[in-house]
Amino acid sequence: MTDKQLRVVLAEDSVILRDGMVELLTARGCAVVATAGTAPELIAAVTEHRPDVAVVDIRMPPTHTDEGIRAAVEIRAARPETGILVFSQHVETAWAARLLAGGAAGIGYLLKERVARTSAFVDALHRVAAGGTALDPEIVNGLMQGRRRNRVDALTPREREVLELMAQGHSNRSIATLLTVSERAVEKHVAAVFTKFDLPATDADNRRVKAVLAYLAENGTHGTGP
């Protein structure tokens, strides 16, 4: 997605925040093809413009509870090729689980208060639009709480740490920097995860998505939806 202009639909009910995000994304080379202040407007905009990714706030009018993420789930079911990036100040683990139930590819969930740089947000947008994942650590932890462990139990602490960072969308190089280890060491840990998750050698990016999917499936995406 980095070779062409990223087409974005932005759903945010705060006009000031929405306009500010449009300016920031445009300055970063993205094309905001439509904005929406309500869930129906979001669904209509995605249907009409077919963006690469939709940025969705969870709580939108009229009740400001879960209209946004309900719309995201609906879009995910109807247009799975459209990336979904939930960008909210709220942690809604049950709805995150439902959004991820059909697969982690092309899904992101970031907390507004924890995104310190615009560049990190835009990188996450590109990653999600390309079929990757971008999950805030707090979301990952919420999905893990009190859930069953299967293949994840077979991982060493370091392998699990690497997999958690993969689930957040980090590359091997980024993981190496965060863990203060060599990129080669990270590659070995990732290979071990693939082996323990019984993922055969295919496209590397595809295996990463499948590993993250398996990780989330065994750590909270079953039986958590409302």
Output the pLDDT for position 222.
37
Please give the residue that has the higher pLDDT: either 154 or 110.
Answer: 110
pLDDT at 144: 62
Domains of the chain: 7-139 (3.40.50.2300), 143-217 (1.10.10.10)
Percent of the chain scoring above 90 in pLDDT: 42
pLDDT classification of 1: cutoffs 50, 70, 90: very low
% residues pLDDT > 70 (the chain): 86
User: Can you state the angle between helices 93-100 and 137-144, rounded to 10 degrees?
Assistant: 90
Q: 10 or 207: which carries more pLDDT confidence?
A: 10
Tokens 């615009």 appear where?
118
- Weakest mean pLDDT among 12-16, 99-103, 162-166: 99-103
What average pLDDT does the segment 6-12 reach? 95
- CB hemisphere CA count around 12 (13 angstroms): 20
Q: State the number of CA atoms in the 13 A half-sphere of 52 facing the CB.
A: 21
- Strands, E assignment, 17-129: 31-36, 53-56, 83-88, 107-111
* Range with top average pLDDT, 38-42, 163-167, 203-207, 213-217: 38-42
| 40 C-beta neighbours (distance < 10 Å), count | 13
User: Does 115 have pLDDT greater than 60?
Assistant: yes
Give the pLDDT score at 224: 32
**Nearest-angstrom CA–CA distance, 174 and 123:** 13
The distance from CA 184 to its chain's CA centroid, rounded to whole angstroms, is 26
Band (pLDDT 50/70/90 cuts) for residue 203 is low
When pLDDT is cut at 50, 70 and 90, the band that residue 209 belongs to is confident
Which tens digits make up the pLDDT trace of 132-143? 888 888 887 776
- pLDDT score of 202 more than 70: no
Mind listing the pLDDT tens digit for each residue in 42-58?
Answer: 999 999 999 999 999 98
* C-alpha distance from residue 40 to each of 60, 84, 133 (Å): 10, 16, 25
Does residue 155 have a pLDDT over 70?
A: yes
User: Which segment, 2-11, 75-84, 167-176, 207-216, is predicted with the most confidence on average?
Assistant: 75-84
pLDDT, averaged across the chain = 83
pTM of the model: 0.67
Dist. CA 134–CA 213, nearest whole Å: 12
Buried-exposed string 45-62: b where 16+ CB fall within 10 A, e elsewhere? bbeebebbbbbbbbbbee
